[in-house]
A and B are shown apart, each in its own frame.
Chain A
Amino acid sequence: MSKFSLLDHEFIPRHEIIDEDEIKSVLKEYNIGREQLPKIKIEDPVIKEIGAEVGDVVKITRKSQTAGEAPYYRYVIE
């Protein structure tokens, strides 16, 4: 059986692990700590697929009815 990547499905928005600098700029923009970001569990299938680790921040680019594309950030937790 051929293996399908979760990320290829049209319902799954783009997920990417972002680097420290970008995390810092996001946190600074909203003046928050990592804990105040929305969370996502490490066992989430998409997180497993992209291989993020606990403590990472994932940028999700969702299609939006109102804005075209809307970025979301989520903090990976256990």
Chain B
Amino acid sequence: MVISMDNTIPSIPQRIGAIRFGLLSPREIRKMSVTSIITADTYDDDGYPIDMGLMDLRLGVIDPGLRCKTCGGRAGECPGHFGHIELVAPVLHVGFNKIIRKVLRSTCRNCSHLLLEDKQKKAYLNQFAKLNVMSHLPDDLINNVFKEARKTKICPYCGEEQLEIKFEKPSDYIENDYKLTPTEIRDRLEHIPDDDLKVMGMDPVSARPEWMVLTVLAVPPVTVRPSITLESGQRSEDDLTHKLVDIIRINQRFQENRDAGAPQLIIEDLWELLQYHLTTFFDNEVSGVPPARHRSGRPLKTLTQRLKGKEGRFRGSLSGKRVNFSARTVISPDPNLSINEVGVPYAIARRMTIPVRVISRNLEMMRAYVARGGETHPGANYVFREDGRRLKITEDNKEELAEKLEPGWTVERQMQDGDIVLFNRQPSLHKMSIMAHKVKVLPNKTFKLNPSVCPPYNADFDGDEMNMHVLQTEESRAEASILMQVQENILSPRFGGPIIGGIHDHISGMFLLTRNEKMISKNDALELLRKSEVRELPEPAGYNDAGDPFWTGKQIFSQILPNDLNLEFKANVCFKCDVCKGRDCEYDSYVVVENGELVAGTIDEKAIGAFKGKILDSIVKRYGSTEAAQFVDDVTRLAIRGVMRTGLSFGISDEDIPREARLNIDEELERAENEVAELIQAYEAKELEPLPGRTLAETIELKIMQSLGKARDHAGTIAGNHLGLENSAVIMAKSGARGSMLNLTQMAGCVGQQAVRGERIRRGYEGRTLPHFDRGDLGADAHGFVKSSYKSGLNPTEYFFHAVGGREGLVDTAVRTSQSGYLQRRLVNALQDLEVQYDRSVRETRGVIVQFKYGEDGIDSTKSDYNSEDTVHNIVSSVTGKEVK
């Protein structure tokens, strides 16, 4: 590398051609080392680093004021330099035990040749070359080499008989009860010929196997293991430094003992100890090795621990980063905001900045920002001078800085209305989890968002928090507003329909407004449309008895539809009659829109709902995202006013059903119980016909479940018949706003069978679920059938069974989320580099084709109608004017 005169590395961007991984050879370690480390002491009494100690100034500096003796850099400039420790005896590197084991077992114990015939070796080398051409990994083939070589019992080169080598954790190699010393292992590895190494998949130039047995240890620079000074002035060293001290101490003792001619036993003990310290230096979580501990008893964090796991260097520091210009707080709803907007608390807006380059044209404006300072809202917090120096704007210097401001400076002005930010809620499972919004600075302390954008984020307002990121460059803002803005993501590529749309109150509001002909006075009509950009009312639908004009809800809704929209579809409330009467539907469930006028039908989930909304869907596809965003905004505002006009509330009395209905339900349940009793009788008399492929016991369970399920459904129908469309819960269920008829059945009619794993509850005591029942009782109530409704209340045994069934639901969701999270991680890792090319083929990074046409049809699902053939039909009918069926 070119290093200029002042010893700084020039920053010329260069393309990396290739990266080669290999082992560090002892020679290389010594070559790159700036000093040998021989003393275990770090600092002298004055607190100055000792020469040839672990904090030697040549290894780099961390204390401010000192200069590195190798490169002359100050703390922060000097990248640090490696040192080395000469080990008295060779020691195995823990990370390579697996490969050392394989190599030892497949080479001759005498002559170190790979235990394969020359012919075989050549064949393997050929196969390697072939794999290389195909750019396949040779791992499997290498394993084959080892497997084959291990089978050879007599060396084909020197005739030596091979002995079994046992490996014992953590790093002992035992050959016929004799423990090989690292020196012996190193000798064997050293003698393997270069050509044999190639057969084992190793490159003798960059990775000789004997380098896996260390004779010299590279000492990482001090910048890698900085010590921290505590408040008391005491120094606290890094865990790696502690470990290195141990290594040097033992190394020294080993040397002294050996020089003094100590007995073999002591030497061996010391050797083992040195092995232990080196092992834990590399990895302090090796199985079979007690972890090295700090004085406090905390295990040391050594090299492997720094890299591994969620908080390790890869996942924690490289893949995941912490960023500036971001904010996080609780979210709350605000239907008056556009779906493209996000309400940002004033306190956050004041601290978030956007850099603006000062040019002659914006000089005066930027002056005004700077002059307002950091305290008054749209102000500025920092300025960058032309030389790149950052200056904080304070109350004292704001006028002075505004005066000095000139083209070429950069002002970090505070965020204000209209700025583009990214908004995100974890878990970020799909692209709609991060979308671009326009800022609206508001009082209070929470982020505000239009409730229509909850579905893509999967957010609710029970305490959810979200993150905001402020874009810092023009390019990123342009890209975000074109690709990531909320309105560009109304359609989900998952199913080609809208994922943003009316929810809850929007749907029930529209339902109440548009169902049947409602007479709405001029005042009310204007009130409903107040927040929409509608300036004129249409011709009134009629005049009431007093002679005042009135409008219908359908007319009001039509005002926010595009003028030339034509649509026909069945609403969510559709009763699914055998013969559909189309627009003459007596339940007002067939929606007809003609030239932007709602002629018939009720607006509900099928029309404007997220996931299902047909009107929404065709507006995005026909008129574009801006129109669609406007429509969603209008719908949310109109619907909120619509629901407020009538009001929608639910109370315990809404679950009341007439006495005779209650009696009917009781009758139905009794009938079911009798049916079950008959089944049991037939079963016990062995008269029951088993179902095909089922045992008798399975058959009766199934039949009981069936008849009880039917009973619950009947109870539901009875209850439902008495709760008409005036009931708010029914309105919500039928319009698709919230809840289902099943929920209502359980509240008013009968809760029904409780199940664990799809079966009636059986667990509990021997032969029975609870002591309240007889052993072997197969009856409905003994196995978790809840006759009561939530309103009437459950009896103790029912309550218990309900809890059993409920718990399964909780466990299931807990397990599912963790499993699907891991599945997602694996899928993302496997697929992250695949890319759809301009020719619509899907390829990976080498250019190898994975799919010849994206999705096999090359279609962008957001541009087709729910991935059905309707798209083609619509195009044909719009061109020819003829209906295609």
A residues with a Cβ closer than 8 A to B are: 29-32, 35-39, 62, 64-67, 70-73, 77-78
Contact = CB atoms under 8 A, between A and B. Distances in A.
B856 A70 contact: yes
Interface stretch (B244-252, B442-450, B842-850): B842-850
A29 B837 CA distance: 13
B134 A67 contact: no
B857 A64 contact: yes
Contact of B856 (A32, A36, A37, A67): A67
Contacts of A38: 848-850
Query: Nearest 5 CB-CB pairs, A to B?
Result: A67-B857, A70-B856, A64-B856, A66-B857, A67-B856
A36 B846 contact: yes
A30 B848 CA distance: 10
Which of B135, B848, B849, B856 is most buried by chain A, counting CB atoms within 10 A of its CB? B856
B847 A32 contact: yes
B856 A30 contact: no
Contact of B852 (A39, A70, A77, A78): A70
Contacts of B97: none
Contact of A66 (B130, B847, B849, B855): B855
A77 B852 CA distance: 19
Interface in B857-884: 857, 859, 867
Contacts of B533: none
A73 B852 contact: yes
B857 A32 contact: no
Contacts of B843: 36
A8 B847 CA distance: 34
A65 B867 CA distance: 11
A66 B134 contact: no
A64 B867 CA distance: 13
5 contacts: A37-B848, A38-B850, A64-B857, A67-B853, A72-B852
Contacts of A64: 856-857
B28 interface: no
B841 interface: yes
A35 B134 contact: yes
B133 interface: yes
A78 B847 contact: no
Contacts of B687: none
Contacts of B848: 35-38
Contacts of B846: 36
Nearest to B855: A66
B177 interface: no
Nearest to A74: B849
Nearest to A33: B847
Nearest to A69: B856
A31 B855 CA distance: 20
A77 B849 contact: no
Nearest to B130: A78
Given A32-B849, A38-B849, A38-B850, A66 B133 contact: no
A67 B853 CA distance: 10
Contact of A35 (B133, B850, B853, B855): B133
A77 B847 contact: no
B578 interface: no
Nearest to A63: B856
A70 B849 contact: no
Interface in B34-50: none
B839 interface: yes
Contacts of B867: 66
Nearest to B858: A67
Contacts of B856: 62, 64-67, 70
A35 to B, nearest CB: 7
B134 A39 contact: yes
A67 B855 CA distance: 8
Nearest to A68: B857
Contacts of B859: 66
Given A35-B848, A65-B856, 17 more contacts: A30-B839, A30-B849, A30-B852, A31-B839, A35-B134, A35-B135, A36-B843, A36-B848, A37-B848, A38-B850, A62-B856, A66-B856, A67-B856, A70-B857, A71-B852, A72-B852, A77-B134
A66 B853 CA distance: 11
Nearest to A65: B856
For B130, B839, B846, B857, the residue with the greatest tally of chain A CB atoms inside 10 Å of its CB is B857
Nearest to B861: A66
A70 B840 CA distance: 14
Contacts of A66: 855-857, 859, 867
A54 B825 CA distance: 37
B841 A30 contact: yes
A70 B841 contact: no
A62 B856 CA distance: 10
A53 to B, nearest CB: 15
B149 to A, nearest CB: 22
Contacts of B841: 30
A35 B847 CA distance: 9
Contacts of B135: 35
A38 B852 CA distance: 10
Nearest to A71: B852
A45 B99 CA distance: 35
Nearest to B857: A67
B846 to A, nearest CB: 7
A72 to B, nearest CB: 6
Contact of B853 (A37, A70, A77): A70
B569 to A, nearest CB: 24
Contacts of B855: 66-67
A36 B856 CA distance: 18
Contacts of B847: 32, 36
Nearest to B853: A70
B848 to A, nearest CB: 5
A78 to B, nearest CB: 7
Interface string B116-136: 000000000000001001110
A55 to B, nearest CB: 12
Contacts of A31: 839
Contact of B849 (A36, A62, A65, A78): A36
Contacts of A62: 856
Nearest to A73: B852
Interface string B818-855: 00000000000000000000010101001111101101
A78 B867 CA distance: 40
Contacts of A77: 134
A37 B849 contact: yes
Nearest to B837: A30
A39 B847 CA distance: 13
Contacts of A70: 852-853, 856-857
A31 B843 CA distance: 12
A71 to B, nearest CB: 7
A39 to B, nearest CB: 7
A73 B849 CA distance: 9
A24 B448 CA distance: 58
A13 to B, nearest CB: 12
Contacts of A36: 843, 846-849
Contacts of A39: 134
Contacts of A29: 839
A64 B847 CA distance: 24
A38 B856 CA distance: 15
Interface string B428-454: 000000000000000000000000000
Contacts of A71: 852
A56 to B, nearest CB: 15
B488 to A, nearest CB: 24
B379 to A, nearest CB: 54
Contacts of A65: 856
B856 to A, nearest CB: 4
A66 B224 CA distance: 55
A72 B441 CA distance: 54
B852 to A, nearest CB: 6
Interface string B457-484: 0000000000000000000000000000
A54 B425 CA distance: 51
A31 B133 CA distance: 19
